[in-house]
Amino acid sequence: MSTIVAGRYQLVAPVGQGATGVVWRAYDLLLERDVALKEIALPPGPGAAERRRRVVKEARMAARLSHRGIVTVHNLAEEAERLWIVMEFLEALTLHDTVVQAGPLPAELVAKMGRRLLEALRHAHDGGVVHRDIKPANIMLTGDRVVLADFGFAGFESTATTSMRGTPAFIAPETLQGRGGTREADMWSFGATLYMAVEGRTPFRTVDSMAALMAALQEPPRAPKRAGALEPVLRGLLRKDPAARLTSEQTYAMLVNLRRHSAA
């Protein structure tokens, strides 16, 4: 017998693992459409209330963002000591899986994807929301859409944080020093994501957790070999000093300029 959540969402099959829970494909029996449900267990104990608060915050944050480059949140349900975030369902590959299967992507294609992703990120930043975990595994590619997913670590930019959040190979140096939670840190992660897409590897020589953390603090990123005209964008985004890093406005202008030159 199929499991039905909140009296209307029929679970079909697990489709992935997000930063904070299992993601299911499901069917909305009321509106007769496919949806995605992120299942988040709330085991009893001292941390249960705080975990629930964070999940509700994530859902509210994502729901207040309306952009075709950000996964749409439809609802939040609670049942059987679990919270379920109900989202649009995308038939999509992640950027990570695309690079693993197809290898490094052409610089022109990466620049095009970068423009669309940056439009979504700028929309989030304009709303005061920073993502904190931008990486290829959180970028969905479907049709002509490039979609930013999983706001499980997201927060308001004005909210200071001293905890390390994110994925080591894509985390900004200042985040490791307890100065994360800013749009500048998101831009570093965005740059590391574009680097991975065009080079087929991370900006540093290892993805081992501790080594990657130390490399981000002490070593320059590896020189790109396939980036071509995209290289100045990558170098500008991966500057260790947040104040010297390219802003989203500067980056977008450079990516648009690359499109004009390629069309000339």
Q: Which residues are catalytic?
A: 133
Among candidates 143, 28, 128, which has minimal Cα distance to 74?
28
Q: Is 31 helix (H, G, I), strand (E, B) or coil?
A: coil
Q: What are φ and ψ of residue 160, in 5° steps? A: -70, 150
225 among annotated binding-site residues: no
User: Encoding tokens for residue 31?
Assistant: 């509106």
Distance CA 16, CA 24 (A): 7
Q: How far is CA 45 from CA 51, 85, 220, in A?
A: 10, 22, 43
Q: 10 Å Cβ neighbour count for 256?
A: 12
Chain centroid to Cα 220, Å, comes to 23
Known binding-site residues equal 38
Known binding-site residues for ATP equal 38
